Amino acid sequence: MSIDEKAIQEHVRGIIEALGEDPDREGLRDTPRRVAKMYSEVFEGIQFTNAEIADMFNKTFEEGLEPVGENQDLVIVKDIDIFSYCEHHMALMYDMKVTVAYVPRGRIIGISKIARIADMVSKRLQLQERIGSDIAEIMEIITGSPDVAVLISGSHSCMSARGIKKSDAKTYTTTLRGRFKDDTVLQLRLK
């Protein structure tokens, strides 16, 4: 599915009018076009399924890393910056930091690909909880490892700029798959 910039322009113009503004005044004249272009960029991930994103970033290396007892190899990438838009209010989710960890099963993914996966998944109308689940699913597909963890912290403008207006509130989500669910040693290594 491709993003229909023409339809976005028409709808944004209608929103501007519904707000009581003049869409033909100088400051707003090009706003529908600019918003449509921005939406094409920030919602790029809508066009792809998790399986397609996995195909897009499926660059792994056969390294022979296998879990061995409690001293297993573990890959952790922390502080991946992302932003997204809440599907409930289309409000910005910002200051988001993602941590992705996995136990390699004979192959490892290029670490820049982990950041690219997080970025692409966030470019959808989303829930923070689903961002974690989507990243974990894609990591499982690419690495073949069922042992994946995704931790996310973020601020939500639907809480900070409207409604309750609590600007310092942060939301934390944790997605634990495979051995991360029950293995406290693995969980501690995430810290």
Residue 104: φ, ψ to 5°: -60, 145
Four-residue CA torsion sign, 38, 50, 104, 153: positive
> What's the rounded Cα separation, in Å, for the pair 191 and 186?
10
The strand pair at 107-109 and 171-176 is best described as unpaired
What residues are labeled active site? 86-89, 128, 156, 158
